[in-house]
Amino acid sequence: MIELFDTVTLLAQIPDPGPVAPPGSEKILEVVGNAKWGAGIALLMGFFVGLLVWAGGRWVDHHRAGRVGLIMMLCSLAGGLLYGIGWQLINHFAGGA
């Protein structure tokens, strides 16, 4: 005689383990944290160096240097926006909570 199993009770018996980080993953997170810190410092330095280039270009009436400084500042601001909202966007699109 063939017995029919109820699918719901069969699935209820299978355990659902949570994700476990592999050994050494804390070092990877430390490296990512260091890279994130370095990116923040690079954005700040890019903005302030761009400000200096822009001011210096305007001071000596060198319009190309002024334009380069302005572009450096705008790129740093755009990078700062991406730096600030990047994790939220990735987490949202990846389906995280």
Does residue 27 fall inside a structural domain? no
Number of domains in the chain: 1
Does residue 21 fall inside a structural domain? no
Distance of CA 42 to the CA centre of its chain: 14
Does residue 8 fall inside a structural domain? no
Residues 11-53 have pLDDT tens digits of 556 777 788 888 888 898 899 899 999 999 999 999 999 999 9
Q: What is the pLDDT of residue 2?
A: 54
Residues 40-92 have pLDDT tens digits of 999 999 999 999 999 999 899 888 999 999 999 999 999 999 999 988 888 88
**Which string of DSSP letters, residue by residue, matches 19-64?**
P-PPTTHHHHHHHHHHHHHHHHHHHHHHHHHHHHHHHHHHHTT-HH
Does residue 77 fall inside a structural domain? yes
Does residue 14 fall inside a structural domain? no
Residue-number span of the structural domain to which 95 is assigned = 34-97
Does residue 13 fall inside a structural domain? no
